[in-house]
Structure 1
């Protein structure tokens, strides 16, 4: 059973992967997930051991990217003295910010949330600002990790297309 019209078995997944990578840089959609779904669609349409093997590799890259994306920045923030409860509250504020300011609201809400929470906790502007800068670096690091995983998924998919 084909999900795609004849002759589009490579183009539609390519567009999904491209839009997914753009979605990583402009966080409107779950970019990494969209990229791996593009590869899944390609593997389903192409069929065969080779296509499914390449999908498995892309799925492993996706899982590693998601795990690393949360471990490394979170560890650095905790080393700077930012508590896990602060991070969780900042994520909630980031989600609220996403609805208030489309596209960049999550980042603004998250970073502003770190500052407000840390300032309220420590009553020290310098320390709150230092931890806020660390949060901004963590957000950018997380996006960089996700972008690397997205590009690796795209490259793996291209190799898979060429191999099938």
Structure 2
């Protein structure tokens, strides 16, 4: 698979990651489709193992999300900037502290956005907590699954055949 094709796969994955942050957009399925597209173009055992793992992760994520409250982030007072900041924080955290850094990155990104908007620590903590209760955990679950899939894909590119 050529460099341009890999860049297109990465672009579709990034669109999927952004789609997770937008209600109604099947972002996780974009990420999964990009992995399948990569595996079809570069068929080897490791690629199909990544597809199998990605499929399992998405199925487990869907089961977990059904147990969480539905997304009502807007009703909690969270604005678009807070959601994007939380997503960017998760992405940065995922790479700074591999895998587990997505959770504190998500929370810190959301908190910092709310701190800038509301001005005080107490109000920002309360707003972040409210947003997490009203669907932030749902977004975080789906985003974390997509980051895991993207990390597996990157690992397969770096250490695969």
Task: Please give the range of the TM-score, normalised by the shorter of the 2 chains.
Answer: 0.5 to 0.7
Correspondence 1:60 to 2:56: yes
After TM superposition, the runs of 4+ consecutive aligned structure 1 residues lying more than 3 A away are: 133-136
Matches within 5 A, 1:2-21: 7-21=3-17
TM-score w.r.t. the length of structure 2 is: 0.58
- Report the alpha carbon displacement of residue 54 of structure 1 after superposing the two structures with TM: 1.1
Greater gyration radius: 1
- Report the alpha carbon displacement of residue 29 of structure 1 after superposing the two structures with TM: 2.2
Unaligned runs of 5+ in 2: 77-128
Which residue number in structure 2 is paired with residue 82 of structure 1?
A: none
- Report the alpha carbon displacement of residue 8 of structure 1 after superposing the two structures with TM: 2.6
What is the DSSP-based 3-state SS (H/G/I as helix, E as strand, rest coil) of the residue aligned with 2:5?
coil
Aligned-partner Cα distance in 1 for 2:24–2:52 = 26
Conserved? CA contact 1:20–1:31, under 8 Å: yes
The number of residues matched between the two structures is 108
Conserved? CA contact 1:16–1:38, under 8 Å: yes
Matches within 5 A, 1:1-164: 7-27=3-23, 29-71=25-67, 73-74=68-69, 107-108=73-74, 111=75, 137-162=133-158, 163-164=160-161
- When residues 70 and 134 of structure 1 are mapped into structure 2, their CA distance, relative to the original with a 3 A threshold, is farther
TM-score w.r.t. the length of structure 1 is: 0.57
Aligned-residue CA RMSD (Å): 2.7
